[in-house]
Structure 1
Amino acid sequence: MTFDPSSTADTPFLFETAVVAGVGLIGGSVALGLRQRLLARRVIGLDASAEVLREALALGVVDEIQAAPGEWLRAADLVVLAAPMRALAPLARDLAPFLNPHALVTDVGSVKGGIATEMERLGVRSFVAGHPMAGSERGGVTHARAALLENAVWVLTPTDHTPLTALSRARTLVEALGGAPVVMPPDAHDALVATVSHLPYLASLALTHMVARDERLSLLAAGGFRDLTRVASGDPRMSRDMVVENKAALREALGRFRRQLERLEEDLEEPEELLAAALEGKRTRDSLPIVKRSLLPQRHDLVVAVPDRPNQLGAVTQTLGAHGVNIKDIEVLAIREDGGAVRLGLESPEDVQRAAGILAAAGFEVRGRS
């Protein structure tokens, strides 16, 4: 397919030609962000799957498609590696001979040490490893959306050999896509995600295996258990590859987790110590912003009880929209047979108070929190 740039000839693009290698959920979301925000004059999707490429083109995720790397890559001034973890290094090796030395190259993998080392070995000096802290249990390009990256913490992990100009360009790209760039070394990133992402996945597996081995447990596994084990619903192969790639940092995190469990087991005999642990846990959990991931501007929450009737969530958002209240974030907290609850993230305590009054007048039960 040939892209006609005539309609956007006067637009100041960040990149003339962007290539997204691996057009899945995250890669597709990056491609959509580049197109919708007019950050690239043309966006080319590269993927080994002809079906994925046809779908990406039909959905308007990319402007053009390519099935294999080649000389055409030299025209790209931005290349985003978005393959699954196991395929990331082989993809880098396939692309390296054709990369423009002046192109910004980045990736979206969840483990940084390995790919950073591989790109240095390949001599790709303009590479800046990256990890947008965003995702969904639903994978594939059909679920890609530019909004997935908005307000997401996006970790950039330069090495000692990363040019400052490349890091600056990567930060500009992330901010232009709506993300919040955070810079740290690759090993620091991998240690942190081992605790906050990869360890919870293994814990979810352990808990779900316990339920799978006892039918009676599944009868009692209600909403709280489902919330706690949500990440076990991710793609099994991709999740396996993710944790194996980060196994050294994950083993260290598992050791600390075991010690925490042992301490809590001891506290069963010390009710006051267990209460202190529970209070600390509550303080910590309640202080965690849900989408902001602790590093973005503070939001203020309004919890709304939603009856189990059609279009109730739509009624909440439409009612607030009609009164000019801007919802910055929304999360379904619980669903029951008689209804559920949603958390609305608003910009200020004044917005919470105003929205609460509007929804209460419309017949909704509300509770604000900051």
Structure 2
Amino acid sequence: MTPTPLFKTVVIAGVGLIGGSVALGLKDRFLAERVIGFDVSAETLTAALALGVIDEAQLEPGEWLREAELIVLASPVGSLGQLAAQLAPFAGPDTIFTDVGSVKGPLAKELAYLRSYVPGHPMAGSERGGVENAQAALLENAIWVLTPDDRTPIGALKRVRTLVESLGASAVTMPADAHDQLVATVSHLPYLSALALTHMVTRDERLALLAAGGFRDLTRVASGDPRMSRDMVLANREALREAATRFQRSLEHLLELLDTPEALLEAAEEGKRTRDSLPVVRRSLLPPLFDLVVAVPDQPGQLGRITQVLGEHGVNIKNIEVLAIRDQGGAVRLGFATLEEMEQARELLHDVGYRSRTRA
């Protein structure tokens, strides 16, 4: 009763936070028959296997790559070009490449030699890196930017877009240069701002004593991997300089408003409206649930059967979401208020033939 996957074999090259989250999403939603992890760290691969993030592990490129229908390049942005060069000679002629790098323009030029390449960037992350912090939920409702150009095969773009949407993200297509300008403002500039604020604290230990929740929230991104963050902003330095100039002008304008309280109040109210309207803010207010992802065949009455089985045994479903709908079937996510209810539901559905996995 398992749906037909989108891909038979997917290689996650770089099994860290984002790569691991993609892998878990593929497994949670039954989107790949086999997920192979490739990484330079044996320790990382051992952890990924133990956590159920990947099905197989590889430390060296080789002929095994010819079986890959999709290769996801998920190393830090500064090493993506080198990673692709390692793997490409062993890939099959129809293998699709995509990546999760946060800077697209320079990378698109560097990887132009790839026959089938779809540049991408999921707008998701956490200051806690590493595969041990990977979560399939990290990608849900996230914006996933795709930046195809004239060389991008239409068929490959459609397959990657379908994958992105099947992972629960929202695919947005735009030119690479436009992407880089936008993320300079919403991602790279906040990182530099967080660095500047933390450096001020470093120079006066009294500030550290007084730094409360607001300061910690504002500087959270400074806790990310320093080398990875450095490479990210360097790769987008020109767009970042432009964004920083606009930010400086905005800050100077706000400083001028310190002499006009009513105007400053209007600016504060505008800021509150903008901040409160951000999708990620609204989503964070939802209560946590214990999730179970169930594979569902493309047959009439399946949702009714699932809910009937659980209802007959008094198991209450707090939330239900269709994760993927394809001709061969898909998956649904069931949310439960307690771990005990989730485990009971898993056993009941297993007894009547459904395959499922708990949400990582």
TM-score band, normalised by shorter chain: 0.7 to 0.9
CA distance in 1 between counterparts of 2:169 and 2:145 reads 10
CA contact (8 A) 2:122 2:142 kept: yes
Q: Does 1:147 align with 2:117?
A: no
Q: Does 1:62 align with 2:54?
A: yes
Identical residues among aligned pairs (%):
68
Runs (4+) of structure 1 exceeding 4 A deviation are 299-302, 322-325
What corresponds to 1:212 in structure 2? 202
Deviation of 1:289 (Å): 2.1
Question: Structure 1's 57 and 194: CA in aligned 2 closer, same or farther, altered over 3 A?
Answer: same
Alignment RMSD, CA only? 2.4
Q: Does 1:258 align with 2:275?
A: no
Superposed counterparts of 1:183-332, under 5 Å: 183-290=173-280, 325-326=318-319
CA contact (8 A) 2:37 2:54 kept: yes
What corresponds to 2:172 in structure 1? 182
Q: Does 1:115 align with 2:107?
A: yes
CA contact (8 A) 1:154 1:174 kept: yes
How far does the alpha carbon of each residue in 1:172-209 deviate from its partner, in whole angstroms, 9 at most, with x for none? Answer: 01011111111111111111110001101111111111
Q: Which has the higher contact order (CA 8 A, sep 6+)?
A: 2
Aligned positions, number: 298
Q: Does 1:157 align with 2:142?
A: no
How far does the alpha carbon of each residue in 1:252-272 deviate from its partner, in whole angstroms, 9 at most, with x for none? Answer: 000000111111122222333
Superposed counterparts of 1:59-138, under 5 Å: 59-120=51-112, 123-138=113-128
Q: Which runs of 5+ in 2 are unaligned?
A: 290-314, 322-360
CA contact (8 A) 2:275 2:281 kept: no
CA distance in 1 between counterparts of 2:160 and 2:123 reads 16
CA contact (8 A) 1:23 1:141 kept: yes
CA distance in 1 between counterparts of 2:284 and 2:124 reads 21
What corresponds to 2:38 in structure 1? 46
CA distance in 1 between counterparts of 2:281 and 2:48 reads 27
CA distance in 1 between counterparts of 2:99 and 2:264 reads 43
Deviation of 1:325 (Å): 4.6
Deviation of 1:11 (Å): 4.4
Deviation of 1:95 (Å): 1.4
Deviation of 1:275 (Å): 2.3
Letter in 2 for 1:60: G
Q: Which runs of 5+ in 1 are unaligned?
A: 1-7, 293-298, 305-312, 315-321, 329-370
What corresponds to 2:293 in structure 1? none
Letter in 2 for 1:199: L
Question: Structure 1's 300 and 99: CA in aligned 2 closer, same or farther, altered over 3 A?
Answer: closer
Letter in 2 for 1:133: M
Q: Does 1:25 align with 2:17?
A: yes
Letter in 1 for 2:213: G
CA distance in 1 between counterparts of 2:83 and 2:229 reads 19
Q: 2:49 is paired with a residue of what secondary structure?
A: helix
How far does the alpha carbon of each residue in 1:27-73 deviate from its partner, in whole angstroms, 9 at most, with x for none? Answer: 11111111222111111111111111122122221111111112221
Letter in 1 for 2:270: E
CA distance in 1 between counterparts of 2:122 and 2:252 reads 33
CA distance in 1 between counterparts of 2:320 and 2:242 reads 39
CA distance in 2 between counterparts of 1:145 and 1:200 reads 24
Letter in 2 for 1:75: E
